[in-house]
Amino acid sequence: MIQFLQRQWFLVLLGLALAIGFGWSEQLADVATRAPRSWIVAAVLFVMALPLELSSLLRTLTRPVPALLACGVNVVIVPLLGYSGAFLLPADLGAGLIIMAAIPCTLASAAVWTRRAGGNDSLAILVTVVTNLACFLVIPFWLQTLLGASAEIPFRGVVLRLLLLVVVPISLAQIFRLHRPLAHWATRNKPRLGVVAQMGILSMVAIGSVKAGNRLVAAENELALSILDWGGMLAVVVAVHLAALGLGHLLALLARTDRADRIAIGFAGSQKTLMVGLDLGLQYFGGLTILPMVAYHVCQLLADTLIADRLRKQK
């Protein structure tokens, strides 16, 4: 039991945050409203970007095809898959799925899982950096294109928010790394910094759960989610993630990339960062939109662990 908690503590606390948020949504409403969401998002992204070592990326840039394939899967294919799946879900859950599909690659786990499977983690890091730095243009484009008719989305507001909360913290983290003692410290303490970042993610999940719970209470039966809705959401989320991962591997095979690059393309192309999606969902849409994002995050944690271990054994 202790070993399980040591390995899966984040998933356990994630479930607890969801349960507390939904179960005590009315009592915690004021706390959720007062929480400094923007500062939490910026701080988490800064902490997650601080250990990233960009020096190894220059070698990856000499062979641009794998990076272009992985970015293409993450930025183009996953949004289209998410849009297709959104038609199968209630409106709020469908919007959450589209937001999830439009956000960039996760800052940590794509490289971790790629390395675990024996892949090219430098390529995964490159995709992470490129998709996150470009997200202030990519996300508003997809939201406007896929949700523009059904949601009022302030394009300039979204661009500015993403610049301030994503691009600026990541850029500042890399500027701070120019100070070598700090860079060495961040590299050595990467696991601890990861824990700090995950605690920030859990706080955002809790805030989103409170808002989602209050939205359900206020709407009474209008937004009630049935077991079929929950099951359908989980099925669609799993299908989108696995389809993106599979398409990444297939495109890499067709492009005749080596095995290490194929692994990186699959993981970096299909994985999504939770923090940015949570902020956008809560800021512009509503609490229920966080549910597909959390489900996708749990899916990529569980499914990709199994896939990475199997790929490692096949090496």
Domain coordinates of the chain in residue numbers? 35-214+224-314
Phi-psi bin for 231: left (phi > 0), alpha (psi -120 to 50), beta? alpha
Q: What is the pLDDT of residue 58?
A: 66
Kindly tell me the number of DSSP H helices and DSSP E strands found in the chain: 18, 0
Q: What is the pLDDT of residue 182?
A: 93
CATH for the stretch 35-214+224-314: 1.20.1530.20
**In this predicted model, what pLDDT tens digit does every residue of 179-235 receive, in sequence order?**
999 999 998 998 888 888 888 878 888 887 887 777 766 655 555 677 888 899 999
pTM for the whole structure: 0.82
CB 270 within 8 A of CB 72: no
Q: What is the pLDDT of residue 162?
A: 82
Q: CA-CA distance, 33 to 49, in Å (whole number)?
A: 27
Q: What is the pLDDT of residue 170?
A: 85
CB 210 within 8 A of CB 268: no
Two tokens, residue 78: 């996953």
pLDDT beneath 70: ranges in the chain: 1, 4-7, 55-60, 149-152, 216-224, 287, 315
Q: Helix or strand or coil: residue 224?
A: coil
